[in-house]
């Protein structure tokens, strides 16, 4: 049950936040042509088109990558949060640079590349901050419940 909570809540909450934001903003529905720069609008368009496929990918990433890292760091939820955040943000930065560089149109200049990296890393960073914060909160709740149960048994 604990693992299921750590899989569902941290992936579903940021997914639903971005889904709601995408639903409220119509600017992404007017995108046509080839994208040469990543922006929040282009990410919303991508989410709007492939959102149904993205959640299973988020869920599997949480199960295969994040939770094993989280469980291996058994020195408390704060240290687990710090190390997990460091790992996923490092990977997100590398992915942001790679994807942005792959679609970058050199004619638009370096600023276009930097804006793409910033937009992609910003969205990924917010997702992972929310995700890791929720994992941290879930662990704290589980620890407090276990502590209360142990105190009740001792009485």
Q: What is the DSSP string of 29-64?
A: GG--S---S--HHHHHHHHHHHHHHHHHHHHHHIII
- Is the pLDDT reported for residue 26 higher than 70? no
| Domain assignment of residue 127, given as a range | 2-154
- The number of distinct structural domains making up the chain is 1
The answer to whether the beta carbons of residues 44 and 28 sit under 8 Å apart is yes
pTM for this model (two decimals) = 0.76
Q: Any idea what DSSP says for residue 28?
A: G
Could you identify the residue written with the tokens 């990433």?
A: 61
% of the chain exceeding 70 in pLDDT = 81
Q: What is the pLDDT of residues 1-12, one digit of tens each?
A: 788 999 999 988
Confidence (pLDDT) at 42: 66
Could you identify the residue written with the tokens 């058994």?
A: 74
- How far apart, in whole angstroms, are the C-alpha atoms of residue 142 and residue 91? 28
- Tokens for 106, please give them: 């050199």
The answer to whether the beta carbons of residues 134 and 126 sit under 8 Å apart is no
- Is the pLDDT reported for residue 25 higher than 70? no
- Tokens for 18, please give them: 């971005």
What does the radius of gyration of the chain's CA atoms come to, in whole angstroms?
A: 19
Q: What is the pLDDT of residues 76-95, one digit of tens each?
A: 677 777 887 888 889 989 98
- Give CA separation, 64 vs 27, 56, 69, 153, in Å: 34, 12, 9, 35
């Amino acid at each position: 049950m604990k693992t299921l909570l750590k899989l569902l809540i941290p992936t579903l909450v940021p997914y639903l936040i971005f889904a709601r934001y995408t639903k409220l903003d119509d600017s992404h529905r007017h995108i046509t042509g080839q994208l040469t720069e990543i922006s929040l609008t282009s990410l919303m368009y991508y989410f709007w088109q492939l959102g149904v496929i993205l959640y299973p990918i988020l869920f599997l990433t949480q199960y295969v990558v994040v939770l094993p890292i989280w469980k291996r760091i058994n020195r408390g939820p704060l240290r687990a949060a710090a190390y997990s955040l460091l790992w996923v943000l490092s990977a997100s930065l590398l992915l942001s640079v790679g994807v942005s560089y792959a679609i970058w149109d050199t004619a638009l200049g370096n600023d276009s590349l930097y804006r793409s990296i910033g937009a992609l890393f910003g969205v990924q960073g917010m997702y992972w901050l929310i995700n890791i914060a929720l994992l941290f909160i879930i662990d704290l709740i589980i620890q407090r419940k276990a502590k209360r149960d142990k105190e009740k048994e001792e009485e």
